Amino acid sequence: LEIAAPTLPTPVYWHDTEGVVLGINALCLKAIGATRDIVGRTPHEFYPKEVADHILSHNEQVIKTGEILSQDEPMRDIATGEVKVFRSVKAPLYDDEGTIIGIIGSSIEITAEKEAEQLKIENAKQKTFIEEEEKFRTLATQVAHDIRSPLMSLLMIVRSCNNIPESASIA
């Protein structure tokens, strides 16, 4: 892995079964804003507890099931503090005897896609709100029209009654 990882065109990392980072390539270091000093440390040593717990829980699932698993992982860039979202795909890491000794993973940043997705949801909500507002406006206009017609008739009758002498009106 130490030889292959630097040549791969994607961020790659590998951890042991305890969550200790065994290796990481330069693309991954750049993506998370870290330096090589995270090798030999667990995510709890460089991420907030909830992020580290999320990562390690996913690692544990991969180790227990022996399956390749994927999940989205929101992370805070170690250098800048900026929140980024990564889609992480992790697979079991085996020794020569076929025993799982950890995980190997690759994480691709999908922050822009997540933001676009959120914007799409907000736009759909806004569109629904505008459509509902338009329906209400149409209904209100129809109600106003429906009320205006009989009121205009009554007003015409009242005006015509102004010419009737008071003695001729019905009490």
CA–CA gap between residue 11 and residue 22 (Å, rounded): 14
Using the predicted structure, report yes or no on whether residue 77 has a pLDDT greater than 90. Answer: no
Band (pLDDT 50/70/90 cuts) for residue 102 is: very high
Is the model's pLDDT at 132 over the cut of 80?
A: yes
Q: Regarding predicted confidence, which is higher, 24 or 164?
A: 24
Give pTM, 2 decimals.
0.61
Listed in order, strand segments (DSSP E) in the chain are: 12-16, 21-24, 69-76, 83-94, 100-109
Residues whose CB falls within 8 Å of the CB of residue 161, separated by 6 or more in sequence, listed in order: 169
Higher pLDDT, 124 or 100: 100
Residue 37 is given by DSSP the state G
Mean local confidence (pLDDT), 55-84? 88
Residue 3 reports pLDDT greater than 70: yes
* Residue 85 predicted with pLDDT over 80: yes
Which tokens is 43 given? 């995510």
